Amino acid sequence: MLLPRKSSEEGLDLLEDPRSELVQKLLEYKMYKQIAAYLEEQEERTQRIYEKPKEDLTLYTKETDIYLSLDLVPFVKAFELFLQKKKRMEEVQKRYSSIKQQQMTIESRIEQIKQLFRGRKRLKFRDLVNEDRTRQNVVLTFLSMLELIRQKAVKVNQNVNYGEITFTINEKDMVAEKGE
């Protein structure tokens, strides 16, 4: 291929290479081709989306929408009332703090149960949790009774599934407690 000659007037200025213009057009063509492929992909994706056409629902609604005809003033008053109540609740919460229930250990609950067994030979589970029927107390009492059963301090009896659970104190444990 023949190279363009240098201009005689300006020795340093070279003529532009005709290949660079061709390379530029090829790059531009490649870019347009990628954009066209992207747009074609988007068109295919949107063609797979189906929308349900709007239906005329006037046959099913005899009345006009009452919420469209309501005045805004009652809503504003109700919202202001809500804000006032919320503010009062926050003030009350600032003044008063909630009291958390004291956590009890299994060992301390076992001691309480032993105190309940004094003078009695049998107790029902219902009697043990009758004072405080919170979930925490029921679980704590049940675990304490399981520990007493494991220690063989009490015997357990339940005649029917989901029936009353009866605990009988072990005679040996009674003798040991009287000796203390």
pLDDT at 52: 85
Greater confidence (172 vs 36) lies with 36
In a domain, 66, yes or no: no
In a domain, 122, yes or no: yes
Torsion, Cα 13 14 18 23, to 10 degrees, reads: -80
Greater confidence (164 vs 180) lies with 164
Considering only 16-30, 34-48, 118-132, which range has the smallest mean pLDDT?
118-132
Greater confidence (20 vs 68) lies with 20
Over the Cα atoms of the chain, what is R_g?
A: 44
pLDDT at 103: 79
In a domain, 135, yes or no: yes
pLDDT at 13: 47
Rounded Cα distance between 171 and 121, Å, is 9
Per-residue pLDDT band for 174 (boundaries 50, 70, 90) equals: very low
Using alpha carbons, list the distances in angstroms from residue 36 to 5, 22, 165. 40, 21, 78
In a domain, 116, yes or no: yes
Each residue's pLDDT tens digit, 150-159? 999 999 998 9
pLDDT, average across residues 21-29 = 93
Per-residue pLDDT band for 56 (boundaries 50, 70, 90) equals: confident
Which helix (H) or strand (E) element contains residue 169?
strand 166-169
Torsion, Cα 148 152 155 161, to 10 degrees, reads: 70
User: Are 143 and 106 within 8 A, CB to CB?
Assistant: yes
pLDDT at 63: 66
In a domain, 129, yes or no: yes
Please name which of 26, 28, 6, 8 lies closest in space to residue 16, comparing C-alpha atoms. Answer: 6
Q: How many domains does the chain have?
A: 1
Each residue's pLDDT tens digit, 58-114? 777 766 666 666 778 888 999 999 999 999 999 888 887 766 666 788 899 899 888
Greater confidence (143 vs 56) lies with 143
In a domain, 152, yes or no: yes
Strands ordered across the beta sheet of 154-157? 122-124, 166-169, 154-157
pLDDT at 28: 96
pLDDT at 137: 85
In a domain, 24, yes or no: no
Q: For the domain that residue 123 is a member of, what is the CATH number?
A: 1.10.10.580
Greater confidence (176 vs 4) lies with 4
N-term to C-term CA, the chain: 119
pLDDT, average across residues 129-140 = 82
This prediction has a pTM of 0.42
Range of 137's domain?
106-179
